[in-house]
Amino acid sequence: MDSRRASATALGTALMRAAHTRHGLPLLLADPWGDRLVLDRERDALRTRSGHSDLDAALRAHPSFGTVILRARYAEDALAEAVRRGVAQYVIVGAGLDSFALRRPPFARELEIFEIDHPSTQQLKTQRLAACGHWPLPRVQLIAADLSEVGLDAVLAGTAFSGDAPAFFSWLGVTAYLTREANLATLRAIASCAPASELVFSYIDKRLLDADGGHDGLQRAREQVASVGEPWVSGFDPDGLAADLRGTGLELMHDLGPAELAERYCAGRDDGLQPSVGAHVAHARVVA
């Protein structure tokens, strides 16, 4: 990623969520905020890059579209369950233009939210929220940090985050852009939090990333993110994920691959929404 500009994939995923809000039947995620936070010139650039005059159609045809929607829905479902168990802190790692704090459902009214992302992306988000008249937001802290240079534990130590109270972490659409070493460092930092803390994160099946040629849809998505300077560099092997997490101090609760995500959220749909090949959403907790 070019450190001088906000993430292009953050803009694209925000627009994907907005496109699903307009066209998804049944709706899994009501998130229209991409339409307000992404500027017309940025839409034009995405439209030109896609080669399609209908941006919504191009976004919905993108091989990562289904996964963007499904991983967000799963994370918010898991967050709701955690809040019912008493969790009062929500940390969004690599938040991009995530709009949960703007959409706050009733269960999250008192939730303390910490959004962490690269300084350039956080600057853009703060500017866009202010332009919409929605900044500052109550019980929300936007934290600018480059996690390739500073650890998540050190970042949180400089905030109102309480390391003694359980928290829920979401880390979506990020791990593929980081090295294995950086991913494990972030997992260890989360594992240092209070017992009963939980994490939902997405990853790409390393076996498919490493395969020569790979699946057509996966390869196309990989080429598209690389073309905007944000290449995928690592994945996890589903067969070794539980051991990887144990090594950091986390316990794997669930690992949903494409078949499990489709069974949970896509049965009976007629809009073609499906998870991407190789896409996984994992749910883990801090070991007591």
Give the domain ranges of the chain.
63-286
Residue for token pair 């988000």: 125
Superfamily (CATH H level) for 63-286: Vaccinia Virus protein VP39 (3.40.50.150)
pLDDT value at 22 more than 80: yes
Q: Count of CB atoms within 10 A of residue 132's CB?
A: 12
Distance CA 33, CA 71 (A): 17
Q: What percent of the chain is predicted at pLDDT more than 70?
A: 97
Residue 237 Cα distances to 64, 199, 204, angstroms: 19, 18, 8
pLDDT value at 4 more than 70: no
pLDDT reported for residue 213: 58
pLDDT reported for residue 148: 84
pLDDT reported for residue 212: 64
pLDDT reported for residue 62: 92
pLDDT value at 94 more than 80: yes
pLDDT value at 214 more than 70: no
Contact predicate 62/46, CB 8 Å: no
Distance CA 107, CA 112 (A): 12
pLDDT value at 3 more than 50: no
pLDDT value at 182 more than 60: yes
